[in-house]
């Protein structure tokens, strides 16, 4: 017992802070779960629990690219989209084949994550050669491309197997018994609603576990070294391309997981600007920026506040967006005004580095 106390005392600050992060999630879950089961929470708020989990996973995973790798990505919702559609497609096809909901969901989850990761690799390889604003613009474009792609996909299934088209349902040429699975802009309907608050929280914990442990490992150090000084990282033999791609892909895969959660929370899955487009990508970025770039617990908390705040302010419906906008403008000023940058460099030391000849 005393040994154990000593161990906890000697644990470094990092480990403690990480345990606190997990602790916050678990306690918050237990509190909310109690409130829900005693019926002391509006059904509206209760319905917000799974989306909240989704936002938290998205924010934490985007922080891996923006905060830990130090690159601005505006296509995060695209990876969520890839995970959502691939997993919903799987679940709908398997609805009657795999009756065990848990097993089906786990398989769907793995598929969604894998597909999003593949998209991460395919997009990451060309895109990660770019830096800063250029990277931001190109990732934004790829995010939009993914979202728009699923809007032109029609997939049906009949006795002869799968039919595929990019035109319309008629073009699928199915037998009469055929069933449309992906219906272009109308998306996928009838996905089993397997997502629960509990599953969401488990996924948050897994996401945190992966990101936190990655950051505190050999690979994580390499990623952060690239962020802090690419030239110095190269000079000690760090493979820049490899580690950038690693961070980007893991981040995409985790966003895919959030997409799976999203797809299995709704009966109808469609892709539009608000759920998988740049609106969403920028929302997630706002969580990351507000929570403090690189601060994992911070992005979690920002996601919670910014998701719940509009609901809390529902009474002030006219001012809701105004308040939101003011918060964002203040953040912008804090991050970009020259005076504020000066102040931060002096007191907080996370200013941007200038580019110059290698000296």
Partner 1 sequence: MAALLDVKNLGISFGGLRAVNGFDISIEKEQLYGLIGPNGAGKTTVFNLLTGVYKPDAGKVILDGQDITGKKTIDISKAGIARTFQNIRLFSKLSVLDNVKVGLHNKHHYSTIEGILRLHGYRKVEKEMNEQAMELLKVFDLADHADYLASNLPYGQQRRLEIARALATEPKLLLLDEPAAGMNPNETGELMEMIQFVREKFHMTILLIEHDMKLVSGICEKLTVLNFGEVLAQGDTASVLNDPQVITAYLGE
Ligand X SMILES: Nc1ncnc2c1ncn2[C@@H]1O[C@H](COP(=O)(O)OP(=O)(O)OP(=O)(O)O)[C@@H](O)[C@H]1O
Q: Which residues bind to ligand X, rule: CB under 6 A?
A: 357, 359
Binding mask 271-310 for partner 1 (x = CB under 8 A): -----------------------x----------------
Residue 228 contacts which entry, ligand X, partner 1, none (Cβ below 5-8 A, type-dependent): partner 1
What single string gives the DSSP state of each residue in 283-337?
A: HHHHHHHHH-TT-HHHHHHHHHHHHHHHHHGGGGHHHHHHHHHHHHHHHHHHHH-
Is residue 358 close enough to count as binding partner 1 by CB under 8 A?
yes
Give me the least distance between CB of 358 and ligand X, in Å please. 7
Give me the least distance between CB of 252 and partner 1, in Å please. 15
Is residue 342 close enough to count as binding partner 1 by CB under 8 A?
no
Is residue 229 close enough to count as binding partner 1 by CB under 8 A?
yes
Contacts of 259 (CB under 8 A, 6+ apart): 79, 80, 81, 82, 83, 84, 85, 87, 112, 116
Is residue 227 close enough to count as binding partner 1 by CB under 8 A?
yes
Helical H segments across 128-277, by residue range: 132-150, 197-215, 218-228, 230-235, 240-263, 273-276
Number of CB atoms found within 10 A of residue 66's CB: 24
Residue with tokens 């992906």: 182
Pairing of strands 188-189, 161-165: unpaired
Give me the least distance between CB of 243 and partner 1, in Å please. 10
What single string gives the DSSP state of each residue in 218-249?
A: HHHHHHHHHHH-HHHHHHTT--HHHHHHHHHH
Give me the least distance between CB of 355 and ligand X, in Å please. 11
Binding mask 1-40 for partner 1 (x = CB under 8 A): ----------------------------------------
Give the pair of three-digit tokens for residue 351. 């200013």
Is residue 257 close enough to count as binding partner 1 by CB under 8 A?
no
Residue 291 contacts which entry, partner 1, ligand X, none (Cβ below 5-8 A, type-dependent): none
Give the pair of three-digit tokens for residue 124. 């990451």
Q: Footprint of partner 1 on this chain (CB under 8 A)?
A: 209-210, 213-214, 217-222, 224-225, 227-229, 231-240, 246, 294, 349-350, 356, 358-359
């Amino acid at each position: 017992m005393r040994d154990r106390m000593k161990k906890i005392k000697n644990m470094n600050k990092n480990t403690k802070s990480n345990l606190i992060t997990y602790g916050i999630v678990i306690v918050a879950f237990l509190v909310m779960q109690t409130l829900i089961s005693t019926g002391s929470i509006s059904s509206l708020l209760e319905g917000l629990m799974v989306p909240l989990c989704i936002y938290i996973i998205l924010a934490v995973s985007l922080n891996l690219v923006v905060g830990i790798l130090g690159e601005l990505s505006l296509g995060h919702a695209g990876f969520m989209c890839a995970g959502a559609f691939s997993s919903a497609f799987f679940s709908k096809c398997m609805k009657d084949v795999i009756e065990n909901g848990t097993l089906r969901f786990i398989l769907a989850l793995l598929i969604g994550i894998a597909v999003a990761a593949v998209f991460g690799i395919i997009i990451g390889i060309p895109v990660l050669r770019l830096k800063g604003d250029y990277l931001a613009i190109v990732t934004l474009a790829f995010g939009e491309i993914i979202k728009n792609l699923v809007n032109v996909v029609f997939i049906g299934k009949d006795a002869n197997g799968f039919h595929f088209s990019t035109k319309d349902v008629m073009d699928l040429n199915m037998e009469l018994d055929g069933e449309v699975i992906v219906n272009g802009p109308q998306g996928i309907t009838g996905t089993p609603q397997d997502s629960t608050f509990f599953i969401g929280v488990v996924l948050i914990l897994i996401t945190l576990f992966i990101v936190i442990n990655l950051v505190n490992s050999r690979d994580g150090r390499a990623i952060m070294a690239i962020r802090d000084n690419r030239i110095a990282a190269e000079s000690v033999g760090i493979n820049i391309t490899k580690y950038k791609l690693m961070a980007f892909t893991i981040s995409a895969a985790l966003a895919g997981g959030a997409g799976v959660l999203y797809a299995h929370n709704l009966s109808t899955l469609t892709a539009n600007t608000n759920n998988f487009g740049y609106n969403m990508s920028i929302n997630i970025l706002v969580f990351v920026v507000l929570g403090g770039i690189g601060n994992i617990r911070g992005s979690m908390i920002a996601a919670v506040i910014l998701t719940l705040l509009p609901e809390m302010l529902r009474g002030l419906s006219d001012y809701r967006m105004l308040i939101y906008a003011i918060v964002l403008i203040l953040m912008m000023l804090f991050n970009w005004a020259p005076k504020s940058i000066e102040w931060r460099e002096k007191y907080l030391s996370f200013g941007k580095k200038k580019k110059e000849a290698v000296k």
